[in-house]
A and B are shown apart, each in its own frame.
Chain A
Amino acid sequence: MLNKISGHQVDRRLLLKGAAAGGLGIAGATLLSGCAPGASGPMTFGARTVDESPTVQLQGLVAAYTAKTGNEVAYNATESNAFQNNLSQYLQGTPDDCFQWMAGYRMQFFADQGLLEDISDVWDDIGDQYSESYKIASTGLDGKQYFVPQGWYPWGLHFRKSMMAEIGMKPEDIYNWDDFMGALAELKGQGLIGLASADKGGWEAMGTFDILNARINGYQFHVDLLGGREKWTDDRVKEVFRHWEMMLPYQNTNVLDLEWDGAMQLLLQRQAGFFMNGSWFGGNFLEQSQEDYDDLMIVPFPEINPDHGRDTVDAPVDGFCVAKNGGNPDGGKDFIKFAGDMEGVQAMLDTGIPLTSANNGQDKSSYDAFQNAQQAVMDEAKYITQFLDRDTRPDFAGPIVGPAFQSWFKDPSSTDSILESLQSQWDALAPL
């Protein structure tokens, strides 16, 4: 009995000693990490995705950075919609040092509020690896850079090669509006849906509006309209809806009941000839089967106004930013430089996940046929827009434009009143 008790006491003493030693060890480790080699020390990275493939890609990037510099990176992933809706609070509060975000107005909006770190000096180092259009997309309203691009994808008309071959149609030859209308009519004659469309989410149809507006009225008008420098009640905007109305008879009738993936299914199941969407959905085809993916192809949206040809494309650019309120902005900068440099891009490519990188250094000979076609769509365009909800005020795109387009689908004859209401709601927005 006595022995047992004393034994306990020894144990307890040992435990205390152990705890003290452990405490010292932890303190020592923190001291050591405080003077770790490399410019910047441990930092955190915020990913705006929890999807499997992009996560593999980003973790490959993070691992390569840690291997090179020895800097620890904490990887925080948030589901993209939650991340996006909460970004304003995130940036004002306790953001990660470097985080994943989008180019264009969405970045400029937050840069303007002083929430993003100016990374112009990073661009001085890696700028020569990117073409000018990407630098423009990475530049804030004050002329400084706040963003480093990762990858892009174009919006265009997607179709299945085998299906078109069966019908005997050559989508590559569809150059202008009349060709396109003829093709749609022919598809309808075959009992097919000409153009698979969806707008249940409120954003899917924005891509169609963007391209119609850019084709009919040109890049400058489109950008000015979204920037509030032109009016929605303008006759030129009405012209956009007049053309859109011509496409309606060839679309599926349940546009408002389908989210984008419902429209994609129409293409996958060979019920529709064309599908206007961003090329990212190729991943879904690949998931279905390699055969389906190999069958997928894209062409640019046809020309409508010869003055503008096919000079504009919606091609959202995703990438990275450094947060001003992060705990270690220098660490964030160091990381973003690595991510933008060919070295980081290569680390992402090495994961084997398909990426159409913005970096000039990517070896394009490894592109598959679909990626090559995406590149061709990009190359034909002179101007790159980001997508309606990335090119205009966030409080205008989602809550106002989305529902307006949905109500237009319910009653296309009410174009005038919908546009008037759009303009009056823009005018009523609080100044930034």
Chain B
Amino acid sequence: MSVTENRVDKKAAEKATQAEQKLKRSRGAQAVKDRIISIFIGFFALAWLFPIIWTFYSSLRPYKEIRAGGVLSFPKELNFNNYIEAISRMELPTYFFNTALITLPAVFLILLLGSLMAFVVTRYSFKANVALLLLFTAGNLLPPQLVFIPVFKMYLALGDLVGDRRFLYDSPFGVILIHVAFQMGFATFVLSSYMKTIPKEISESALVDGASVFTHFFRVMLPLLRPPLASLGVLMTTWIYNDFFWALVLMSTDSKRPITSALGRLTGEFVTDYNLLAAGAMIAALPTLIVFFVLRKQFISGLTLGSTKG
């Protein structure tokens, strides 16, 4: 008995060690896999970061050195002089103010109007609501380059009608309006898909409790829309912040244009000091980075919107 017991024990022990070894082996394999994945991720992270690092590196070198020795020459001088010059040449306060003057109202209006629109097309059923949603989304498909001439002419005509050519054209108001018009379609689309995931019962009980349309929107739906509004807010801020085109074609006075055109002030007619430009680009990129880091959580939760129900 004892012998057989022993045998059984031994067998069991053997099995146990075998299982352990197997586990170890698979753990080892897993570790190797992990390492490969890490290297893979690390490689792509570096590839992604490279342009930024290179921009930063370039921004520390004087153009004179590049001109004399080429881009790949060994740096003799590394300093922040380009930043100092970029800040003084770009007239940062003016242009940052212009950008804020355009971006903030535009983002606010896009979110407000977009959510109102999404509310109507998802919560009320009437014949035209799908068509309406399509119309709004379709507007997004037109490239700005295609429509800017008619918009420009329209702005001038409207300005002449009011008696002041600068009513819409060459005014921040006009640029805000065109951004609202262009981005609202996308905002409506995103917000309405999110609203479809909010149970109908919530709306129904609000209606049963006697909520008016406005109470229903402002006090029931709007609080539920916080995550998509935040992520849309980040996206819209970035897009409008980065816009160069509309401000260029719809404004004639350079000192009213946003920060993106201030970057242009660093490029000369013939000579472009890329090192100075790199410093300017780093400065101009800062605000978007800050907005992103502050609202990072909402941004990522916004990206996964609709990937799970609820």
A residues bordering B, Cβ < 8 Å? Answer: 48-51, 54, 76-82, 85-86, 89-90, 92-96, 259-261, 265, 268-269, 280-281, 283-284, 287-288
Contacting pair A86 B248 (CB below 8 A): yes
Query: Chain B: how many interface residues by the 8 Å CB criterion?
Result: 27
Point out the residue from A92, A93, A280, A288 that lies within 8 Å of B270, measured CB to CB: A280
Asked if B68 is at the interface of the complex by the 8 Å CB criterion, the answer is yes
Asked if B271 is at the interface of the complex by the 8 Å CB criterion, the answer is yes
Chain B residues with CB under 8 A of A77: 254
Chain B residues with CB under 8 A of A259: 272
Contact with A along B262-301 (1 / 0, CB 8 A): 0011011111100000000000000000000000000000
Q: Which of B155-192 contact A (CB under 8 A)?
A: 156, 165-166, 169-170
**What's the Cα separation between A408 and B135 when bound, in Å?**
45
If over half of A's interface residues share one DSSP class (helix, strand or loop), that class is named, otherwise mixed; here it is helix
Contacting pair B64 A288 (CB below 8 A): yes
**What's the Cα separation between A92 and B249 when bound, in Å?**
11
Known: A89-B252, A269-B68, A288-B68. A82 touches B152 (CB 8 A): no
**What's the Cα separation between A54 and B152 when bound, in Å?**
31
Asked if B310 is at the interface of the complex by the 8 Å CB criterion, the answer is no
Chain A residues with CB under 8 A of B272: 259, 261
Contacting pair A265 B152 (CB below 8 A): no
Asked if B26 is at the interface of the complex by the 8 Å CB criterion, the answer is no
Asked if B115 is at the interface of the complex by the 8 Å CB criterion, the answer is no
Contacting pair B270 A260 (CB below 8 A): yes
Asked if B255 is at the interface of the complex by the 8 Å CB criterion, the answer is yes
Known: A93-B170, A280-B270. A78 touches B254 (CB 8 A): yes
Residue of A nearest to B271 (CB): A284
Point out the residue from B156, B267, B269 that lies within 8 Å of A92, measured CB to CB: B156
Chain B residues with CB under 8 A of A79: 254, 261, 264-265, 267
B residues bordering A, Cβ < 8 Å? Answer: 64, 67-70, 89, 152, 156, 165-166, 169-170, 248-249, 252-255, 261, 264-265, 267-272
A-B Cβ contacts below 8 A, count? 77
**What's the Cα separation between A182 and B248 when bound, in Å?**
49
Chain A residues with CB under 8 A of B68: 268-269, 288
Point out the residue from A49, A50, A95, A283 that lies within 8 Å of B252, measured CB to CB: A95
Residue of B nearest to A292 (CB): B68
**What's the Cα separation between A261 and B71 when bound, in Å?**
12
**What's the Cα separation between A335 and B271 when bound, in Å?**
29
Say how far A429's CB is from chain B's closest CB, in angstroms.
17
Say how far B40's CB is from chain A's closest CB, in angstroms.
31
Chain B residues with CB under 8 A of A95: 252
8 residue pairs A–B, Cβ–Cβ below 8 Å: A50-B268, A81-B269, A89-B249, A93-B170, A94-B166, A268-B68, A281-B270, A283-B271
Chain B residues with CB under 8 A of A90: 252
Contacting pair B264 A89 (CB below 8 A): no
Chain B residues with CB under 8 A of A260: 270
Residue of B nearest to A82 (CB): B264
Which of B68, B69, B89, B268 is the most central at the interface, judged by chain A CB atoms within 10 Å of its CB? B268
Contacting pair B268 A51 (CB below 8 A): yes
Chain B residues with CB under 8 A of A78: 254
Residue of A nearest to B153 (CB): A92
Chain A residues with CB under 8 A of B69: 269
Contacting pair B152 A76 (CB below 8 A): no
Contacting pair B249 A265 (CB below 8 A): no
**What's the Cα separation between A94 and B69 when bound, in Å?**
45
